[in-house]
Structure 1
Amino acid sequence: MRFFIELSYNGKYYHGWQIQKKVKSVEEKLEYCLSKLLSTSINIIGAGRTDKGVHARQMFAHFDFEEKLDSNLTKRLNIFLPKSIHVINIFPVKKYAHARFHALSRTYKYYLISEKNPFIQDFSWYYIYPLDFIRMNKASKILMRYKNFSSFCKKRKDRKSDNICEIYYAHWSKYKTHFCFTIQANRFLRNMVRSIIGTLVDIGRSKISINEFIKILELENPIYRNSQIAPPYGLFLTKIIYPEDIFYDSEKK
């Protein structure tokens, strides 16, 4: 049987989602605890790979197990897991369901604050310079015209098709002392969201013009993007949408 796990985590304590040698990862902690509780080796496939320090309010992963799960497994798993990881739900899905490949869209939110606040400093970027959010939102709309985001990935790939993404929504919302950037797409490249945010912030500071931003997009090469990458601690994976037909009726998301 195949099962989906819905979870959230504080990424401050981890070197990202994916298992890596000699560093802590969310995937490693989850696999270890689940394997111990089920008394067998469990392999988990995540919906994506969040970077070091990035958080998730909603993440999905799947695993296979031949027996029916104990109804108290979620509660027992949360007791076993560190406080920084919370399993929301574990439920059966169709045997072909894949947490990564069946995801229709992913939504990220990035938080930026204009006043220093020690209580949320681990979850937002304290930015001291004034920003023009009208210009930043104008640039955000331009993003949706393009498909190739080679200029905003960590490493350029030779095959341009590997860097094709479809952005459905990108917008900055302004509150009293904090700001939130929301972006939704079918997929994201490595470091893509934080690279875009760093560039949009430079647009807000008038360090980059709208025309220069368009040129960066169209050159499809990260060497022409000189903006900093936004810090990871302000970034949250907040929502993943799947087609309804991979779920049983009682578990539709």
Structure 2
Amino acid sequence: MRIILGIEYNGSHYHGWQAQAHANSIQQTLERALSKIAAHPLQVQCAGRTDAGVHALEQIIHFDTEAERPMQAWLLGGNSHLPDDVRILWAQPAIGDFHARYSAIARFYRYVICNRPIKSALLYQQSTWCYPPLDAEKMHQAAQHLIGEHDFTSFRAQSCESKSPNRLMHFIEVYRQGDQVIMDISANAFLHHMVRNIAGVLMEVGSGKQPTDWTSHLLAVKDRKQAARTAPPEGLYLGGVCYPAHYGLNTHPIFAKLPRDAKRFD
């Protein structure tokens, strides 16, 4: 049987999602807990790997097992073996050929910026601090140049191993909530550090250092060196993953904003 889980985590004390020999990871933490419920070793697959210090509002994972357990056992039993900064939100059996990564048709990330003169104690390691005042409206205007299918070479890490720099950007919204500036962004898939590089560029625009059409220029030049520094990982959250309706998964309400022609595979 293939089981699907929705996972929430605070990535502050982990070296990212992927299992590593000499560092603590989200993947290893989940596999240890779930293997106790299954009574045999398990390997989990995720919708999208997150870097060190990055969080998830809802990561989607799946695993295969011969152990017959009620869904509540995976949910409650799994959580009983997990640390307080990792939680299983829901569990359900997979339908058909579901794969957490390869069945996904869109991902949603949120980037949170604490924009005030003093750092936040409550959002320590859960937001990026930027003390110069940011113009969220200008950031939003600049972000709209990135909508659609583009070559995102200027926004990918130099170490990115993806064969193609092209991605289909569904929407980007930048808005202010009190002393927080929030960026919500969705695409069919993302390049390595792509969201953090976009956030870094938009903060340059928001602080008045660059014009709102700088994003168009960066798309055209296809040169990572001409863009801004990569924004810190602390403000980044994997917000949710969208799948075709026939898999029977409830998706984050934000995916209702996807254009009708967005249902395409990466």
TM-score norm. by structure 1 comes to: 0.91
- The Cα of 1:42 is off from its aligned counterpart by 0.9
Cα distance in 2 for residues equivalent to 1:120 and 1:158: 32
**Correspondence for 2:89:** 88
**Correspondence for 2:240:** 239
| Pair 1:131-2:134 in alignment | yes
| Pair 1:153-2:156 in alignment | yes
Q: Which runs of 5+ in 2 are unaligned?
A: 252-266
The answer on whether the counterparts of 1:2 and 1:95 sit within 8 Å (CA) in structure 2 is: no
Cα distance in 1 for residues equivalent to 2:66 and 2:145: 48
The answer on whether the counterparts of 1:156 and 1:221 sit within 8 Å (CA) in structure 2 is: no
**Correspondence for 1:39:** 39
Cα distance in 2 for residues equivalent to 1:158 and 1:178: 33
**Percent identity for Structure 1 against Structure 2:** 29
| Secondary structure in structure 1 of the residue aligned to 2:167 | coil
| Secondary structure in structure 1 of the residue aligned to 2:57 | strand
**Correspondence for 1:143:** 146
| Pair 1:197-2:195 in alignment | no
Cα distance in 1 for residues equivalent to 2:191 and 2:68: 36
**Correspondence for 2:259:** none
Report the CA distance shift for 1:156/1:217 in structure 2 as closer, same or farther (over 3 A). Answer: farther
**Correspondence for 2:57:** 57
Report the CA distance shift for 1:72/1:232 in structure 2 as closer, same or farther (over 3 A). Answer: same
The answer on whether the counterparts of 2:137 and 2:175 sit within 8 Å (CA) in structure 1 is: no
The answer on whether the counterparts of 2:125 and 2:234 sit within 8 Å (CA) in structure 1 is: yes
- The Cα of 1:30 is off from its aligned counterpart by 0.5
Deviates more, 1:28-37 or 1:68-77: 68-77
The answer on whether the counterparts of 1:157 and 1:163 sit within 8 Å (CA) in structure 2 is: no
- The Cα of 1:223 is off from its aligned counterpart by 2.3
**Correspondence for 1:178:** 180
- The Cα of 1:211 is off from its aligned counterpart by 4.1
TM-score norm. by structure 2 comes to: 0.87
Report the CA distance shift for 1:101/1:176 in structure 2 as closer, same or farther (over 3 A). Answer: same
Deviates more, 1:150-159 or 1:210-219: 150-159
Report the CA distance shift for 1:77/1:118 in structure 2 as closer, same or farther (over 3 A). Answer: same
CA RMSD of aligned residues (A): 1.8
| Secondary structure in structure 1 of the residue aligned to 2:218 | helix
**Correspondence for 2:28:** 28
Q: Which AA in structure 2 matches 1:203? A: V
**Correspondence for 1:224:** 226
Report the CA distance shift for 1:181/1:158 in structure 2 as closer, same or farther (over 3 A). Answer: closer
Q: Which AA in structure 1 matches 2:233? A: P
The answer on whether the counterparts of 1:113 and 1:125 sit within 8 Å (CA) in structure 2 is: yes
Q: Which AA in structure 2 matches 1:97? A: F
Q: Which AA in structure 1 matches 2:112? A: Y
Report the CA distance shift for 1:244/1:213 in structure 2 as closer, same or farther (over 3 A). Answer: closer
Cα distance in 2 for residues equivalent to 1:252 and 1:59: 13
Report the CA distance shift for 1:151/1:13 in structure 2 as closer, same or farther (over 3 A). Answer: same
The answer on whether the counterparts of 1:166 and 1:187 sit within 8 Å (CA) in structure 2 is: yes
Report the CA distance shift for 1:5/1:145 in structure 2 as closer, same or farther (over 3 A). Answer: closer
Q: Which AA in structure 1 matches 2:7? A: L
